[in-house]
Amino acid sequence: MDGGSRASHRVHGPTTSTPEYKVKHNKSSHVRGILLNSRALKLLLFFLGFLYVGVIFYCRSLLHERDDAFKSEKLKWSNELYRLHDQRSEELARSRKALTEMEKVLEQKDEALTKAEQRLTAMRNTAERLDENQLIQSLRDQNLLFNHLRWGEGPVRVLLELGGSPGTVEEAEEVEFELAPFELLPHVTHWFLTLVETGFWDGCHLIRNAPHVLQFNCRGRTAVSGNPSLLARVPGAEHGRITGRKSIVFQEFAPDFNHLPFTLGVAGRPGGEDFYVNLVDNTRNHGPGGQGPEPDPCFAEVVKGKDVLEKVHQKLTTGFLKEEDFVLIRRMLIKGEEKGT
């Protein structure tokens, strides 16, 4: 029975094709699937967790590297800034030191300038206190002493060669005049003789033929390279000497030596370098009160060649002459020095 029952049971038990078997089989498969899915999920979660941790560590390592690089760059620029700051501080200190020294120098210069201004003010005050007449008299005394030492007791005569051309003698005509005594007019005679001795008048001209005077000046001087006497006396004359105006210091005048016919006077204010020969009595026109508070100096008298001057006066047109009509002063020299010229 037992055997038959088991056989019967085996014979009559559920088969794979029976519904009961299929239901049971599906349940077991579902359970196994759930178990399998649960393990895969755990593995997936574990993998994702591990990956997350790896990513975090990787990102942290990158951040550490960036942070280290940033700190290194920051340290580098900080050191550079400190270096520039120290350099700028040193330059600023040097500039301040130089400025301080410059301020000291300026203070010293200001102090020196103040002292110089004080001395100048004192000198001006002293000069204002000096009597002008004393200065003029001192100059006259010095000129008188020089005149006596250089040209003797006087009176001195001067030779004027008028007309012709530089370097020739036969074409020129001579006019001779005698200067006033040194004691009467020491300054004007010193002025005129110094210019004669240095050759200043050589190459100058008669430039004006007025009814009352013949006037001479040097502003249109002729080249004097052909004048051997001038070349011997004046260095550099071969290039033609064009000099500035030569004036007297003050209007020296002596009542005993006035502007009579054929005397010489000094034109201008201050007088010079122009001079003139009086053709008529000009004591009223050129003497005291004639052309202002100060008269023209009268310093010499023609002693030879009056006929030459009269002939020139009659020949020339009246007034200021055109340049082509100028009459040349071939040379002018002090009498007694002809052999040395």
Q: How far is CA 201 from CA 20, 27, 217, 234, in A?
A: 164, 154, 8, 12
Domain that holds residue 159: 142-340
Whether 197 is in a domain gets the answer: yes
Residue 2 located in a structural domain:
no
Report the percentage of the chain scoring pLDDT > 90. Answer: 33
Determine the Cα angle at 26 with ends 24 and 30, to 5°.
120
Q: What is the pLDDT of residues 115-145, one digit of tens each?
A: 888 888 887 777 666 677 888 888 999 999 9
235: confidence class by pLDDT, cuts 50, 70, 90:
very low
Domain boundary pick from 99, 129, 159 = 129
123 and 147 share one domain: no
pLDDT at 221: 67
Q: Coil, strand, or helix at residue 145?
A: helix
* Cβ atoms 238, 220 nearer than 8 A: no
Most confident of 15-24, 33-42, 170-179, 215-224: 170-179
| Residue 261, helix vs strand vs coil | coil
pTM tops 0.95? no
213 domain-assigned: yes
Q: Same structural domain for residues 239 and 315?
A: yes
Cα→Cα distances 49→38, 54, 56, 299, Å: 16, 9, 10, 133
164 vs 330: CA distance, rounded Å: 7
Residue (of 126, 341, 64) closest to 228 by Cα position: 341
Q: Are residues 273 and 311 in the same domain?
A: yes
What is the tally of helices (H) and strands (E) in the chain?
7, 9
Q: How far is CA 307 from the centre of its chain?
A: 56
**What are the angstrom distances between the C-alpha of 173 and each of 163, 177, 278, 335?**
6, 14, 19, 15
Dist. CA 241–CA 202, nearest whole Å: 9
